Amino acid sequence: MVTMLFTFNEKGLIDTVYTDSRGRIVDDKIVPTPWQGRFWNYAEHSGMLVPLDGEVAWLLPDSIKPYWRGHITKIDYEFAQ
């Protein structure tokens, strides 16, 4: 089981998500490692606020190691009926 801590900005939107024990592969072994996702630049699409930018990173003892950064350029939804 993983526990995640969400923080919200002044508008009530997700700012960060954090866990102190996400599995990271090191030398073919899974090592529990602190992890953080950050999200910003929210825009409304189909009545929902969506973060257009984000980054996720390992929080290592001596540094922060981002391993994914993204920017959404197009969104299409297909809603269930």
d(CA 71, CA 81): 29
User: What are the structural domain ranges in the chain?
Assistant: 5-71
**CB-based burial label for 36 (10 Å; 0-12, 13-18, 19+):** buried
Q: Which residues pair with 81 in a beta bridge?
A: none
What is the tens place of the pLDDT at every residue in 23-47?
Answer: 999 999 999 999 999 999 999 998 9
Contact 44, 52 (CB under 8 A): no
Question: Residue 2 has what pLDDT?
Answer: 80
In the structure, what pLDDT confidence band is assigned to residue 70 with cuts at 50, 70 and 90? Answer: very high
Model confidence, pTM: 0.84
| Average pLDDT score, the chain | 95
Closest-CA residue to 3 (of 21, 24, 23)? 21
Question: What average pLDDT does the segment 63-67 reach?
Answer: 97
